[in-house]
Structure 1
Amino acid sequence: MIKYFFRFKILIVVLLFIACASIHSEPPKNKPNIVFIVVDDLGYSDVEYMNQKKGIKTPNINKLTKSGMTFTDAYTAAPVCSPTRGSLVTGKSPAAVKITCHIPGIGMEKYASKQNKNKKLKEAFFLDHLPSEEITVAEALKTQGYTTGYIGKWHLGGGGSRNTKDGIVDANFNPDKQGFDVNIGGCAYGQPARYFSPYNNGTITDGLKGEYLTDRLGDEAVNFIEQNKEKPFFLNLATYTVHKPLVAPEETIKKYDGNRYFAMIDQLDENVGKVMDKLEELKLLENTIVIFYSDNGGLFGNPPLKGKKGTLNEGGIRVPLIVNWLGKVKPGSVCNTPVTSVDFFPTFVELAGGNANKYSKLEGESILPLIQGKKDTSERTLYWHFPHYRREGLSMGAAIRKGKWKYIVGFDTQKEYLYNLEEDIAEEHNLFETHTEKAQELAKDLKKWQIMVDAEMPIGYNK
């Protein structure tokens, strides 16, 4: 009897072990859906809730701020689009990925010839596509059981898109080769060939004549949500709006007395509302995190910030960011902690129940503790490396922000700037001469980071 009793105990232990093992190997229940809306060229002030530009109407985006968390100090990894986009999908800085400038539609050789003409320094080397060996956030989420969709602008698919008939330089560089199950609209284009159908885009079928691209991408996003409502999904809706050319339906332009830019923002807002309405209709809001973000500063002024797209001043890199998640994010909350593009990869992996530490060389931090309302006491350090010329303002340089301090150095001019963003968000007062030690400290940190990521420097730069 004793023998059978011990056998019975052993059997129980084995069964318990198997049960526990099966529990721990099971994927987390109720993985949240992720909807990541990335707008093209939407500036810090280009949303109604900022109260900076009279006449802008964004009621649906306003709703996101009322029901979610608004970030006041959200940044992009670069002041132009392709580097930020590469950073978003890899979790690495543009300097590390080697995509530090927008990938030129005219082709790399023509671009270099144009940009470097009569210049003291030559622009640094950069890639014209996202290397296939880079692990993307879509690939990471697929291992967690997610269906992944990319709808809209990619701009990581090769240089020379203007020389193509359909925006495809090499199909192997498109989103569907980088972990996305669905790709609608993503190719090498940095701006659409046409905002109205026919689109001349090889990754999206033409609609009825006169169909507006922003509306079409919104409809495709809604369809993707509908088709994947029963399983966890990651949807990256990357609008071509509000990038030039300034094109919108005539009735919307009339609504804004001929202001085409405001009309484009209106159409953007309408389609944000369309996505949110679908999530509500399907009762998915409680299990879907929605992030609204832009890829760089606006081109038409970003008050109260200095500068615009293409510059290392705040107007080129500080952008709107709203996080919305019903029941998880405190309605109407505000976060003042600086965050940036590389933070989304680890955030999304963590949301999916994965471990971001398994992906090497990620440079970001998960913002999940921030959106959960946990107080952040760390002094975050952010970096920018932009060895390229732009006509819009301060470029061809690098920058660092640490706490309230921001330091910028121009590679070509050798001029240095130091700003206290807590007291001077407009960057009107250069404190370099009066706070030299702080500037030198930040310059040293910036240099260490550049060495760590093996940043490409301008040709002819010897410092």
Structure 2
Amino acid sequence: MKNKIFNIAVVIFGITTISCQKNNQDLPNIIVVYVDDLGYGDLSSYGATHIKTPNVDRLAEEGLLFTNAYATASICTPSRYSFLTGKYHWRNTTTWSVGNIKDVSIAPGDAGLTIDTSQTTVAKELKQNGYATGVVGKWHLGLGPTGGPDWNGEIMLGPGDIGFDYIFIMPATADRVPCVFVENRQVVGLDPSDPIQVSYGDPIGDTSTIYNLEVETGTVVSYDSRTRRKNDVVSMHPSFGHDQTIINGIPRIGYMTGGKAALWQDDQIAETLTQKALDYIDRNKENPFFLYFATHDLHVPRVPGETFVGKSRLGVYGDVLLQMDWTVGQILDKLDELKLTENTIIIFTSDNGPVMDDGYLDGSYENLGGHTPSGSLREGKYSAYEGGTRVPFIVRWPKNIKAGTSKALFSQVDLLATLAALTGNTNADKLAMDSRNYSSVLLGETSKGRQHVVQQNMSSTLSLVKDGWKYIEPTDKPQFNVYTYPKTDMGNNTEPQLYNIDSDLREQENLAETYPDKLKELEMLLNQIKNQTAK
């Protein structure tokens, strides 16, 4: 009798195991390619005529291209936060400053982890659903406690604490120190005898080469003359703010000393990150995986690899744009090689709109040659206008999505709930405060998208888009970001703004006085959204 019961148990266990394996095999792989500072008009699939992006075009031809999709902010940290958590970043109270612009949601290089470890995240949710979870690329959501981690030891409080199994990241941005990669919880290639020191206050150490000769410091810096700065040390000069420690000939934001063996090479960042992404796909090809692949391109400092230098004939901006497209092609080729294409969801998008001179005199604006990164939209990164947050958004899943174009209103804040629903969560709408399940939109089954989207600009001014209308709330914050070239109109105005973006996409005619009832309606709705509390 005992043997009979044992045999039945073995059979049941075997059936259950086979069923679980089958369910796991049916789950799609998910890759989110999150490009940095990519404009709505930067891709040939979105109308660019002065440059060709064949690999992204291939995604568009084989997938669903959205013309009305939005990042949640026109700056990087809050967009990434909202995508991963399903919660608008402006609901938080933590802000920082950039120059004379206060209350900015751009995390400094020594920010602690900005995502509470108790929060639901895309990575946590997919991990619970049986996925391997990996992040490769730019992070810029803080590491460690406030003030940053111990760069010379085990880095606690990071992606590994919010659901990611594998981590290979740039801690913040390439223009901020420390200029090192972090793999899992360790700085890659660090020599213990040459420890890293980082400061976002006073200069530090006796080997921190400083661009700004006028800085007052009691420390010794290995910088001896303007001639050396001009001829030997500096290969890219700053236009604003990037005037502290020089690494690889490029002045950065913040002071760093030590860690020489661990420093990245700027012209190899794209290649390094791409290879890590390909290796991750190789290692996880037998089971469902989620890869958040956040490119450094097109962010400053723009240093294309040797293969791409001069290739675009549109200056360094065009060169790194082609480099980003190559990166996408490598991912697509790897999926084809491993026969994973059919059941892999690829989502391609950007964290915000484009910017030219964003702290470095790299000639981006001067060499555009007729290319218009924002396309037909007004302004770009940092702005409340459409060019700041309306971004390229393409999704490909050959098994379930027909190729085409969608005009549905979609927001990146809904990716958490939508991906959760697509992978089996029947309560996806309850996972996060602001994220809702729009899987039918992502699959192209309906063109009825979100009722409205909320946008945030650099100075945390909010906008609301609904039914072809756009409302920008009044504010006394500065109108222009004067630290970019050309200077960016951030959309800040002491008077409310109302635009019909169906008929006036470039937001030229403020209709606030002409349609007071519509203005009041959208103002009340935005205030209602702002005052919502978590259930």
TM-score range, shorter chain: 0.7 to 0.9
Q: Which residue of 2 aligns with 1:380?
A: 451
Match status 1:83 vs 2:75: no
Identity of aligned residues (%): 31
State TM-score, norm by structure 1. 0.80
Counterpart for residue 426 of structure 2 = 355
Q: CA deviation at 1:361?
A: 3.4
Contact 2:144 2:155 in 1 (8 A): no
The structural deviation recorded for 1:277 is 0.5
Residues 330-381 of structure 1: CA deviation (Å, up to 9, x unaligned): 12x0010111111110121112212343744332233321233322446611
- CA distance in 2 between partners of 1:378 and 1:158 (Å): 35
TM-score, normalised by the number of residues in structure 2:
0.70
The equivalent of 1:174 in structure 2 is 158
Aligned partner letter, 1:145 = G
Corresponding position of 1:329 = 401
Summarize deviations over 1:139-185 as a string: whole Å, max 9, x none.
1111111000000111111599999996x999333212211110001
- Structure-1 residue corresponding to 2:320: 264
2:280 to 224, 244, 269: 224
Secondary structure of the equivalent of 1:316? helix
List alignment gaps of at least 5 residues for structure 2. Answer: 1-7, 190-261, 357-372, 477-492
Deviates more, 1:86-95 or 1:363-372: 363-372
Find the partner of 1:320 among 367, 386, 392: 392
Task: Give the number of equivalent residue pairs.
Answer: 411
Contact 1:308 1:316 in 2 (8 A): yes
CA spacing shift, 1:325–1:450, aligned 2, 3 Å: same
Contact 1:39 1:241 in 2 (8 A): yes
Report the residue type matching 2:128 in the other structure. T
Counterpart residue number, 1:4: none
| Counterpart selection for 2:515 from 435, 450, 453 | 435
Task: Please point out which of 273, 288, 309 is paired with 1:253.
Answer: 309
Q: Are 2:30 and 1:34 equivalent residues in the alignment?
A: yes
Deviation at 1:415, TM superposition (A): 1.2
**Structural RMSD (CA):** 3.4
> For structure 1, which runs of at least 5 residues remain unmatched after alignment?
1-13, 102-107, 117-121, 390-395, 455-463
**Cα deviation 1:111-159 (Å, max 9, x = unaligned):** 378434xxxxx67999862222222111111111100000011111159
Q: Secondary structure at the match of 1:212?
A: helix
SS of the residue aligned with 2:292?
strand
Q: Pick closer, same or farther for the CA change 1:411–1:234 going to 2, 3 Å.
A: same
Q: Which residue of 1 aligns with 2:269?
A: 213
Contact 1:342 1:364 in 2 (8 A): yes
| Cα distance in 2, alignment partners of residues 181 and 379 from structure 1 | 32
> 1:306–1:426: 8 Å Cα contact kept in structure 2?
yes
Identify if the C-alpha distance between structure 1 residues 243 and 210 changes in structure 2 by more than 3 Å, giving closer, same or farther: closer
> Given the alignment of the two structures, is residue 63 of structure 1 paired with residue 58 of structure 2, yes or no?
yes
> For residues 169 and 66 of structure 1, do their structure 2 counterparts lie closer, same or farther at Cα, with a shift above 3 Å needed?
farther
Supply the AA of the counterpart residue of 1:345: L
SS of residue in 2 equivalent to 1:322 = strand
Q: Deviations over 1:398-446 (max 9, x none)?
A: 1111111111113214311111111111111111111110011000000
Quick one: distance in 2 between partners of 1:269 and 1:151?
17
Q: SS at the partner of 1:311? A: coil
Q: Once the 2 structures are TM-superposed, how far is the Cα of residue 186 of structure 1 from its aligned partner?
A: 4.4
State the 1:210 CA deviation. 7.4
Q: Per the alignment, in what secondary structure is the counterpart of residue 498 of structure 2? A: strand
Moved more, 366-375 or 411-420: 366-375
State whether residues 78 and 106 of structure 2, in contact with CA within 8 Å, keep that contact through their aligned partners in structure 1.
no
Match of residue 309 from structure 1: 381
Q: Which residue of 2 aligns with 1:6?
A: none
Q: Report if aligned partners of 1:87, 1:97 keep a CA contact under 8 Å in 2.
A: no
Distance 2:144 2:388 in 1: 23
Quote how far apart the aligned CAs of 1:249 are: 2.3
| SS of match in other structure, 1:172 | coil
Structure 2 residue 442 is matched with structure 1 residue 371: yes
Query: What one-letter code is carried by the residue in structure 2 that aligns with 1:115?
Result: I
CA contact 2:136–2:277 (8 Å) conserved in 1: yes
- Secondary structure (helix, strand or coil) at the match of 2:416 reads helix
**Match runs of 1:58-457 below 5 Å:** 58-98=53-93, 108=96, 111=97, 114-116=100-102, 129-157=114-142, 171-187=155-171, 189-191=172-174, 199-203=179-183, 204-205=188-189, 212-257=268-313, 259-300=315-356, 301-331=373-403, 333-357=404-428, 359-377=430-448, 380-386=451-457, 389=459, 396-412=460-476, 413-453=493-533
Equivalent position amino acid for 2:451 in 1: R
State the Cα deviation string for residues 89-117 of structure 1 (Å, max 9, x = none). 10111123556x6xxxxxx5xx378434x
Q: Which amino acid aligns with 1:46?
A: D
Deviation string 1:312-332 (CA, Å, 9 cap, x unpaired) is 10010100000011132112x
Question: In the superposition, relative to structure 1, how do residues 209 and 385 fare at CA in structure 2: closer, same or farther (>3 Å)?
Answer: closer
User: Distance between the aligned counterparts of 1:401 and 1:170, measured in 2?
Assistant: 44
Amino acid at match of 1:79: S
**Residue type of the alignment partner of 2:441:** L
Pair 369,209 (structure 1): closer, same or farther in 2 beyond 3 Å: closer
The answer to whether the 8 A contact 1:148-1:233 is kept is yes
Change in 2 beyond 3 A, CA 1:154/1:125 = closer
Judge conservation of contact 2:36–2:296 (CA < 8 Å) in 1: yes
Q: Is the 8 A contact 1:89 1:138 kept in 2?
A: yes
Q: Which moved more, 1:43-52 or 1:362-371?
A: 362-371
- Kindly provide the amino acid, as one letter, of the partner of residue 181 in structure 1: D
Are 1:304 and 1:426, in contact at CA under 8 Å, matched by a contact in 2? Answer: yes
Contact 1:48–1:57 (8 Å) recurs in 2: yes
Distance, in Å, in 1 between the alignment partners of 2:98 and 2:40 is: 30
Structure with a larger share of its residues in helix: 1
- Cα drift, residue 217 of structure 1: 0.9
